[in-house]
């Protein structure tokens, strides 16, 4: 089973990383994520990304560099990551700070808390 990128029932872009990730696999996921982000924007929905790293085994050095680059290429209101090792949590937080996106990217210990955080980013439409 390989990586997956799809829009789930909550209208979140869900990405599931499986196995070893390289620059090539990161670019493939980023490309598919950008396509789905465009689709959500056309539907006037927020772009919220849920990242599952529970089955991730390793990210190569060039994969890490590619990941930090592609973050700036995808429009999003929030990215919630869960299932990361301690090392990856620190790396994700470092990338978020370095790219001045620390308010838009958060790591979580569970899927439920990640989804809850993403949902609170969506501001309800004003009542008339």
The tens digit of pLDDT for each residue in 34-81 reads 999 999 999 999 999 999 999 999 999 999 889 888 888 888 999 999
Rg of the chain over Cα atoms, rounded to whole angstroms, equals 14
Q: Is residue 78 part of a domain?
A: yes
Pairing state between β 13-21 and 105-108? unpaired
Count of the separate structural domains present in the chain: 1
Give the Cα separation of 98 and 103 in Å (integer): 12
Whether 27 is in a domain gets the answer yes
Of the pLDDT bands very low, low, confident and very high (cuts 50, 70, 90), residue 93 is confident
| Residue 46 included in any domain | yes
The answer to the question of residue 58 being in a domain is yes
Domain containing 46 equals 4-120
Does residue 125 lie in a domain region? no
CATH code where residue 53 lies: 3.30.750.24
Task: Give the closest residue to 29 by CA, choosing from 89, 70, 61.
Answer: 70
Q: How confident is the model at residue 97 (pLDDT cuts 50, 70, 90)?
A: confident
Are 40 and 11 in contact by the 8 Å Cβ rule? The answer is yes
Question: Phi and psi at residue 21, in whole multiples of 5°?
Answer: -110, 135
Token match 């680059």: residue?
69
Block residue for tokens 């700070």: 97
Assigned domain for 127 exists: no
**88 lies in a domain?**
yes
What is the pTM (predicted TM-score) of this model? 0.90
Angle at 84 between CA 83 and CA 90, to 5 degrees: 150
Would 128 be classed as within a structural domain? no
């Amino acid at each position: 089973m390989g990586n997956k990128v799809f829009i789930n029932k909550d209208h979140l872009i869900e990405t599931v990383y499986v196995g070893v990730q390289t620059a090539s696999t990161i670019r493939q996921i980023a490309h598919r994520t950008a396509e789905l982000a465009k689709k959500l924007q056309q539907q006037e929905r927020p772009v919220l990304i849920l990242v599952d790293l529970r089955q991730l085994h390793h990210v190569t050095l060039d994969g890490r560099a590619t990941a930090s680059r592609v973050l700036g290429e995808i429009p999003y209101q929030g990215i919630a990551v869960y299932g990361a090792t301690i090392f990856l949590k620190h790396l994700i937080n470092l990338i978020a700070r370095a790219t001045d996106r620390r308010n838009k990217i958060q790591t979580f210990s569970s899927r439920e808390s990640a989804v809850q955080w993403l949902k609170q980013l969506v501001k309800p439409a004003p009542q008339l």
